[in-house]
């Protein structure tokens, strides 16, 4: 692909880098894994960019590639699950890149999300990004009703996880 | 738990991501599907070379020219069918845009491609068996001929041992091919299957 295409691509990705950051926060729990995942998403975005016809918004397309890449990044997923089994039930809020200025609630939320399965992570990610049930369903390939049910179950699950660890807000 | 409050914090969170200045700065992919593709790319020339080298077996094993017709009939069949399989592997390697659809469609596509490739690898491996059995048969026949013996002259015990050796060898090869494909593709396919099951619940 030409250098102009490359420049356009990098500019668009830069404008929507929040998607990259948040998807990696949801799907990876260490700084190293997050950087790896961001890298993978960027690679897949670039590889798929030739198929992007502009029929939909760039952000819509980017959401799908980011989540589909994160879900299928299976090796890291397994590693993380293994670590989880050994991890203590109580969250360590001050994670390695914890910044005291950051809100504690969000940090607790991110920690709880690590206990979800890949599909639940996608559901909660789209919800946090402000998408409707219809949009969540459309991105995941589910009906609006199924998306609603899955979102409610995921929210409940997060609440239960947080409660179990002794936090409540 | 107030999700609206969380959403507000989520939206205000700073996106700490490094976007490279050029695509060249991106590192190599570690994605499992990409790794499979990469190893396929490496295997591809080796597979072609192997098919070419197999053509020279009659010279290597000094087969009499009267046996060429048996050997090359089997070889041509194997080579033609190998091209079909190698083309299938190439198509999997070249495939793009598998992550751009909705998640369910994308996962189904990746899952089916993995399963199809597993089957392709297995049947490609099984396909080599008859040709190798013919080759080994000819080698044994020629070795016996050199010693002034023939297959019909072998004792019943030897013949049974030969049949048993072929059976064990075939089973061993089939098992190793199945285990190998399960090792390469199985875990990823199983994990994808689990996610797809979760979607249908």
Whole-number Å distance between alpha carbons of B154 and A53: 70
pLDDT at residue A94 in the model: 47
**Per-residue model confidence as pLDDT tens digits over A24-63:** 999 998 999 999 999 999 999 999 998 888 888 999 999 9
- Answer yes or no: is B2 within a domain: no
Radius of gyration of chain B (CA): 26
Contact A40 B26 (CB under 8 A): no
**In chain A, which residues have pLDDT < 70?**
1, 74-103, 169
Task: Specify the fold of A91-169.
Answer: Arc Repressor Mutant, subunit A (1.10.10)
- Shortest CA distance to B36 belongs to which of B107, B101, B114, B96? B114
Residue ranges of chain B whose pLDDT lies below 70 = none
Nearest to B107 among A65, A71, A103 (CB): A71
Q: For B69-116, what is each residue's pLDDT tens digit?
A: 999 999 999 999 999 999 988 888 888 778 888 999 999 999 998 899
CA-derived radius of gyration, chain A: 17
Residue B147's SS3 state is: coil
Comparing CA positions, the residue from A90, A67, A70, A66 lying closest to residue A80 is A70
Start and end residues for every CATH 1.10.1740.10 domain found in chain A: 1-87
Q: Give the per-residue pLDDT at A81.
A: 46
> Taking CB atoms and an 8 Å cutoff, what residues of chain B touch A117?
195, 198
Of residues B19, B27, B103, nearest to A14 (C-beta): B19
Token pair, residue A135, equals 């949009």
CA distance linking residue A151 with residue B185, whole number of Å: 31
The pLDDT, as a whole number, for residue A166 is 80
Note down the domain range covering B127. Answer: 28-200
A148 in contact with chain B, both atoms CB, cutoff 8 A = no
Tell me, what's the ipTM? 0.80
Give pTM, 2 decimals: 0.81
Class of domain A1-87: mainly alpha
pLDDT at B95: 80
Beta carbons of B192 and B107 less than 8 angstroms apart: yes
Number of domains in chain B: 1
Assigned domain for B194 exists:
yes
Instruction: Report the candidate in B195, B18, B106 with the shortest Cα–Cα distance to residue A48.
Output: B106
In a domain, B130, yes or no: yes
């Amino acid at each position: 692909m030409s250098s102009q295409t490359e420049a356009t691509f990098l500019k668009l990705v830069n404008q929507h880098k929040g998607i990259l950051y948040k998807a990696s926060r949801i799907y990876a729990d260490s700084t190293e894994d997050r950087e790896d995942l961001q890298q993978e998403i960027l690679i897949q975005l670039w590889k798929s960019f030739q198929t992007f016809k502009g029929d939909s918004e760039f952000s819509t397309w980017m959401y799908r590639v980011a989540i589909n890449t994160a879900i299928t990044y299976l090796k890291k997923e397994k590693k993380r699950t293994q670590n989880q089994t050994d991890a203590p039930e109580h969250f360590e809020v001050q994670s390695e890149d914890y910044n005291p200025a950051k809100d504690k609630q969000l940090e607790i939320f991110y920690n709880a999300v690590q206990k979800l399965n890949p599909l639940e992570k996608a559901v909660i990610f789209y919800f946090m990004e402000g998408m409707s049930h219809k949009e969540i369903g459309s991105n995941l390939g589910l009906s609006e009703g199924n998306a609603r049910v899955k979102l409610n179950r995921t929210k409940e699950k997060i609440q239960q996880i947080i409660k179990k660890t002794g936090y409540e807000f | 738990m107030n999700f609206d409050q969380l959403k507000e914090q989520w939206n205000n969170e700073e996106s700490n991501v490094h976007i490279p200045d050029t695509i060249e700065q991106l590192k190599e992919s570690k994605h499992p599907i990409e790794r499979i593709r990469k190893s396929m790319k490496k295997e591809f020339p080796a597979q072609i070379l192997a098919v070419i080298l197999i053509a020279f077996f009659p010279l290597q094993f000094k087969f009499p020219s009267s046996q060429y017709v048996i050997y090359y009939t089997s070889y041509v069949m194997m080579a033609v069918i190998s091209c079909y399989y190698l083309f299938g592997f190439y198509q999997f390697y070249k495939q793009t845009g598998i992550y751009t659809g909705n998640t369910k469609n994308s996962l189904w596509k990746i899952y089916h491609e993995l399963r199809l490739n597993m089957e392709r690898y297995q049947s490609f491996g099984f396909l080599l068996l008859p040709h190798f059995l013919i080759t080994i048969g000819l080698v044994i026949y020629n070795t016996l001929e050199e010693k002034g013996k023939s297959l019909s002259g072998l004792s019943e015990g030897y013949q049974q041992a030969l049949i048993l050796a072929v059976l064990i060898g075939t089973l061993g090869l089939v098992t190793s091919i199945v285990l190998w494909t399960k090792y390469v593709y199985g875990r990823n396919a199983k994990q994808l299957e689990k996610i797809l099951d979760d979607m249908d619940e």
